[in-house]
Structure 1
Amino acid sequence: MPKLGLTADQLLSTTRSVRKRLDISRPVERAVIEECLNLALQAPNGGNRNLWRWIVVDDPAKVAAIGAQYKAMFDQPLSARSEPIPDNVERFDLVHDSVRALVEKIDHMPALLIPLMPGRAEGKTPMQQAVMWGSIVQAVWSFFLALRERGLGSAWTTVSLGREREIAEILGIPFESYTQVGLFPIAYTQGTDFKPAWREPLAEVLDYNGFTAR
């Protein structure tokens, strides 16, 4: 699989959640997905216990069924599926358009990735929850980075968790035994010229040796 040859800094600063530019017309080879997942598995995880499970969905019928559940969540009021958006988010209208573009084609993706962690987050203490998420999130991001280097992309989505039980039924996941981490589309991107995104200046979010109220 040809690679883009990005430097580490380029890779870290230009890996985006891609929605509009995911190419649903181009198949994604399982070998490429597995290559990216093998890199993702090198991410740190709690106690090196490797408790994660990874489900790749590339059967069109199952992609469509899961996509229908994802779309159904967007029929819910915004307050039921998202935190309020702060007023200072730059160009949020473009983000909203991008999200809608993904909703429209999520059921036609070449592949979807659903990582799992054992147990349920409900009822865990904050420390136990931190251990759960801290043993999988960095691996998912490593997967994003590996995709980017190979001309593919994904989007970080969690709205599917509003239909977690229904998706578990589609895939035969024991609902009481595993927590879904999110739903991540996999596709080649239309072009590879991604740029750094807007973020609040570091000075606005950084403190040394204590918390500063702002």
Structure 2
Amino acid sequence: MDAETVLTTTRSVRRKLDFDRDVPQDVLDGCLRIAQQAPAAGSMAAQFRWLLVRDAATKAAIAAYNRETAEASWAKYGHLVEARALASAQHFVRNLERVPVLAIPCMIGRPPADAFTQSAYFGSAYPAIWSFQLALRDRGLGSSICGYHLQDHEADVAALLGIPDDVMQISLLAVAYTTQRDFRPATRPALADITYFDAWERTGSLG
């Protein structure tokens, strides 16, 4: 699969995850090795960790924490979300424990308070997360970020998994093979509507 196809067809897969097909560790290892090559600020690459969860009971507990916060959020804000998107999210979260692997990217050290250092902190994590997702896509797997538990239950999941207090869970990714191979580029705003030149809302030519 060429780079442009991978970059333009890596979707947040919620309805097309194969809950019954195992994900071999050597496949994950290959994706994680690619993720390690993502750009990071200074020494922060050495602070990044992955925690992979396969145990059924542990996945069920993590899924329950995510559902609790998600259901409360949907009850309050669900009417603001497009019906199809809401249904997709609900299907995903309500079946989260069935996903073969939950991958939790973590950073040693809690996030800093100032915007500049936060940029380096999270900016050193998400390129690796995205590289991991792209590598999965190239191998016929899908992924979707599901971090509801971080709002109310980060400490509960940390206790469940033995994560130290000074380690931040950046996110949580559900990982599985997909039930279809082909995905299309999504509809996005026109570049002319989102690109400014030299000053905010100053439009110009993209040609």
The C-alpha deviation readout for 1:91-148, integer Å capped at 9, x for no partner, is x322211101101210111000001112222x51011111110101011000000000
CA distance in 2: counterparts of 1:209 and 1:80, whole angstroms: 40
Equivalent pair of 1:42/1:139 in contact (CA under 8 Å): yes
Q: Which structure 1 residue ranges, 4+ long, deviate > 6 Å from structure 2?
A: 79-82
TM-score by length of structure 1 reads 0.87
Task: List aligned pairs for 1:152-163, cutoff 5 A.
Answer: 152-162=141-151, 163=153
Residues 145-182 of structure 1: CA deviation (Å, up to 9, x unaligned): 0000111010122222121111101100013x011111
Q: Secondary structure at the match of 2:177?
A: strand
- Whether 1:35 aligns to 2:25 is no
- Per the alignment, residue 16 of structure 2 pairs with 21
Q: Distance in 2 between matches of 1:213 and 1:113?
A: 41
Q: CA deviation at 1:201?
A: 1.2
- For the residue of structure 1 that corresponds to 2:95, the secondary structure is helix
Which amino acid is the alignment partner of residue 50 of structure 2?
A: W
Pick one of 67, 72, 82 that aligns with 1:71.
67
Which residue in 2 is equivalent to 1:151? 140
Asked if the contact 2:66–2:147 (Cα under 8 Å) also holds between the matched residues in 1, the reply is no
The residue matched to 2:72 in structure 1 has which SS? Answer: coil
1:17 maps to a residue whose letter is: S
Q: TM-score, normalised by structure 2?
A: 0.90
Question: Which of 170, 184, 194 in structure 2 is aligned with 1:195?
Answer: 184
CA distance change for structure 1 residues 117 and 80 in 2, over 3 Å: closer, same or farther? farther
* Contact 2:23-2:100 at 8 Å conserved across structures: yes
Once residues 132 and 155 of structure 1 are traced to their aligned partners in structure 2, the CA distance between those partners, rounded to angstroms, is: 22
| Residue of structure 2 aligned with 1:108, choices 98, 102, 114 | 98
Calculate the aligned-residue CA RMSD, in Å.
Answer: 2.0
In the alignment of these two chains, the number of paired residues is 200
Deviations 1:25-83 (A, max 9, x none): 1111111111100001000111154210110111111111111111111231348789x
CA contact (8 A) 1:160 1:182 kept: no
Distance of 2:100 and 2:196 partners within structure 1: 43
Contact 1:11–1:145 (Cα < 8 Å) also in 2: yes
1:116-127 to structure 2, matched below 5 A, reads 116-121=106-111, 124-127=113-116
Between 1:94-103 and 1:138-147, the stretch displaced more is 94-103
Q: Percent identity?
A: 37
In terms of fraction of residues, the more helix-rich structure is: 2
Q: Are the equivalent residues in 2 in contact too, given 1:17–1:156 (CA < 8 A)?
A: yes
Q: Provide the residue aligned with 2:125 in structure 1.
A: 136
Question: Match for 1:95 among 82, 85, 102?
Answer: 85
Q: Is the 8 A contact 1:73 1:81 kept in 2?
A: no
Provide structure 1 residue ranges, at least 5 long, that are not aligned to the other structure. 1-5, 86-91
* In structure 2, distance between residues paired with 1:80 and 1:129: 29
